[in-house]
Amino acid sequence: MGVAERRQQEKEERIRRILQAALRVFAHEGLQPATVEAIAREAELGKGTIYYYFPSKEALLEELIAGLSEDYFHGLLEGARGEKTPLGIAQGVLGQLLEQYRREPERFRVLYMVLGEPEPRPHRALQTFVEAHFRWLRELRAAVEGVLEDHGVPVDSFLYLVGTYCHGVLFEAVAGRPPDRLQEEACRALAAFLTSPSTGTGEGPNDARSA
């Protein structure tokens, strides 16, 4: 490995350490109380090193949320791929979402801090998440609209349902409700709604997942 490659690798590793430390500090201290000093201590780096890569705490939060949002929505899209029914799509997205939460609850705690933060709000970080959310909805539409049309389910209404309902379930998980219990209850609720006569899905209650 050459000198330039080694320096680039060291830079990337330092940035990764800073972002992981910031995630832990934001998750446990809150967005406003968290300080660059605390993040530097958590990363075991000097405060000056943090500022070398990120000019402010807000810039660090924005970069952190950009990475979290990308991973977050990519996983949700994967949960819908290959499903052949509206119920399967909805439960696939929900299952993937809660699985991500189980793996890294701190990530979701920080995301919901950004979404619910009162003024002064972290506007750039919030905008980053919103842009990722709408990009995901466009990608989800492209992936599932054929299945929804085949089952006579309105695409826009379905996407609104999945987007708002899954975020609501996740909020309950972040608030402390057990993810397994939430998933069980949410799957039953989705099955009851998406197998009603008005949806035209033709599915029965036994098609509901309990994963």
Structural domains of the chain in order of their starting residue, each with its CATH number? 1-55 (1.10.10.60), 57-207 (1.10.357)
Residue 39, pLDDT > 80, answer: yes
pLDDT reported for residue 205: 39
Please name which of 138, 161, 131, 159 lies closest in space to residue 70, comparing C-alpha atoms.
131
Residue 45, pLDDT > 80, answer: yes
Residue 47, pLDDT > 70, answer: yes
| 174 to 136, 177, 210, 211: CA distances (angstroms) | 21, 7, 21, 20
Tens of pLDDT along 1-36?
788 888 888 899 999 999 999 999 999 999 999 999
* 83 and 144 Cβ atoms separated by less than 8 Å: yes
- Mapping DSSP to helix (H, G, I), strand (E, B) and coil, where does residue 52 land? helix
